[in-house]
Amino acid sequence: MTPSSMLVTEVFSAIQGEAALVGERQVFLRLTGCNIRCRYCDQPEALEKRGGPCRLEQTPGRRDWAQATSPLLLAEVVEAVDRLWRALPHHSVSVTGGEPLLQAGRLARLLPLLAARGHRVMLETNATLPGRLAQVLPWVDHVSADIKLDSVDGQGTQLDTQRRFLELAGGHHLFVKVVIGPDTSRPQLEAAVAMVHRVAPTSEIFLQPVTPFAAVLTAPSPELVLELQDLALRLHPRVRVVPQTHRLIDQL
Ligand code: SF4
């Protein structure tokens, strides 16, 4: 792979289903490769950092895929995004994955090209790679940062690493997403929310009840969701519960 290419899984236009920008129309640029393996991950095809077939929607929302082979040249990525945006005004480009910051150096070359075309960018990240964030931040308008709970995703992510990430991301319309499940540890959630409150006191936290998928068989009960929001609200004033709404209305 050359410095002017990147690993892409798919590019398409869809309704953002999660967190602060729920309901907005976005171009999704899904990159390939992730550094962790959450139990509930609904993007198994985007996890391994390797090339191969990828798909590019031709008309916004039509799912008229053109097949291509990843890695794609940065110019090809720009054209795939721009084609959709030219056909329909979008709120922003959701740069997602996988974990986009695995390709931070390449993103640092791509994002200025998107910005030059007037495309705002939302970075959707697992917030575990603070050392790579600075490379892309100048071109990012919104940061959607996941804070991981080991009791839910089983990945043992260090809270201190995530704290350093949020410290760097502040000021870029930062919001935080925490996936909650039936086995959510109350102490882990309290520690996470308290950390966010210290580091990013004005940022909203979105509790996202897990959608059953793969190894995850059940969502948290209605009573537990209320209890966890109560717990979080005692530590941070801005906590909303938003499920994966795109799954409810059968969208990508
Ligand atoms: S961080 Fe996101 S893409 Fe990576 S395994 Fe977890 S849910 Fe999947």
Site to probe by mutation for ligand 1, drawn from 18, 42, 43 as the one with most ligand atoms within 8 Å of Cβ, is: 43
User: Given this model, what pLDDT does residue 145 score?
Assistant: 98
Q: Long-range contacts of range 156-161, CB-CB < 8 Å, 24 or more positions apart?
A: 157/36, 157/126, 157/128, 159/191, 159/192, 159/195, 161/128, 161/130
142 has which bridge partners? 122
The per-residue pLDDT for 42 is: 87
CA of 147 to the centre of ligand 1 (A): 11
Distance of CA 87 from the midpoint of ligand 1 (Å)? 30
Measured from CB, residues less than 6 Å from any atom of ligand 1 are: 34, 36-38, 41, 43, 47, 97-99, 126
- The residue among 159, 142, 58 whose CA lies nearest residue 96 is 142
User: For residue 156, how far is its CA from the centre of ligand 1 (angstroms)?
Assistant: 13
Position 105 scores a pLDDT of 97
pTM of the predicted model as reported, rounded to 2 decimal places: 0.97
- pLDDT for residue 239: 98
pLDDT of residue 5: 97
What are the phi and psi torsion angles at 92 (to 5°)?
-170, 175
pLDDT given at position 2: 86
Q: What is the pLDDT of residue 213?
A: 82
Distance 98 CA to ligand 1 centre (A): 6
* pLDDT tens for each residue of the chain, 252 residues long: 888 999 999 999 999 999 999 999 999 999 999 999 999 998 888 999 999 999 999 999 999 999 999 999 999 999 999 999 999 999 999 999 999 999 999 999 999 999 999 999 999 999 999 999 999 999 999 999 999 999 999 999 999 999 999 999 987 799 999 999 999 999 999 999 999 999 999 999 999 999 988 778 899 999 999 999 999 999 999 999 999 999 999 999
Residue 22 CA to residue 225 CA, distance in Å, equals 19
Tell how far the Cα of 188 is from the centroid of ligand 1, in angstroms. 19
Q: Which atom of ligand 1 is nearest to the CA of 98?
A: 3
Distance in Å, CA 126 to ligand 1 centroid: 7
Residue nearest to atom 3 of ligand 1 (CA): 98
pLDDT value of position 143: 98
Fold of 5-248: TIM Barrel (3.20.20)
Closest residue by CA, ligand 1 atom 8: 41
What ranges do the domains of the chain cover? 5-248
Residue closest via CA to ligand 1's atom 6 equals 38
